[in-house]
Amino acid sequence: MKIAIIGAGNMGMSFSKSFLKYELIKPENLHLITRNQSKVQNISEEFPKSQISIFEEVNDLEADLIIIAVKPQDFKNVAENIHFKLKENQMVLSIMAGIKIEKIQKLLNHPLIVRAMPNSPTLLGMGITGYTSAEGISFSQLINIERLLNSTGRSVYLEDESLLDGVTALSGSGPAYFYYIVDAMIKAGMQMGIDENLSKLFVKQTMLGAYHLINNSDKNLEELIKDVASKGGTTEAALKTFEDNNFKEILQKGILNAEKRAKELNG
């Protein structure tokens, strides 16, 4: 399989590294395309056996799969300035937030589109990606796409494309919510006089341990909370403050606003 990736940002690079790490493609069958001339040197050093091109200079594209990894706001401009003609059997995988399959098909004048929403832990091979596809994509083609996506973590196929905006808000943006809460906890530790590095250690290890408890316990989340929050104790005091200030509702509202923004990106 030959793969071309348009957009050499974090996500495009992490996909490339995963494909090569798990030997899903050969380095010489990877073509990285950037619109930024200043990035070429660094990309070439990182992928010495792969082809590196400037977007405007690509007049023909020999690839079985073309991955669109540009910012959704830039897609219209990219689509209007493509100098190569998409071949009938070429597959396109979009990892842009919000841009629907129908719009991608229209702007590229091409039917074979798979749309996916990964998240940043793909950098470590620990991401999760929701994906869906246009009509006309065969089962075997989807299996090939899934193999590629699974190299970056896990993937889930969605029959209903409209759910992908929710996936974008929940898991695509989700790591930032997690970092936001972690940052607040670290700063609270510092306010209590704990050294910053020590506060980071306590919080990060607490989050790691809590994650493993969620995965390995038979108890649901409410039960796990009750295990920590004894009557009249310190945890209960914190949780009461969260409830009094509608923290859960605020967090949920933020996620719903992220979904709303994903829908707006389609134009």
- Residue positions in the annotated binding site? 6-11, 34, 69-72
Tokens encoding 153: 């973590």
Distance CA 212, CA 205 (A): 11
Distance CA 13, CA 34 (A): 11
- Please state the φ and ψ torsions of residue 265, each to the nearest 5 degrees: -60, -25
CA 230 to chain centre: 37
| Closest C-alpha to 131, from 144, 76, 193 | 144
Indicate the Cα dihedral angle 159, 128, 216, 181, nearest 10°. Answer: -120
Is the distance from CB of 234 to CB of 144 less than 8 angstroms?
no
Buried b (16+ CB within 10 A) or exposed e, 253-265: eebeebbeebeeb
Provide the annotated binding site for NADP(+). Answer: 6-11, 34, 69-72
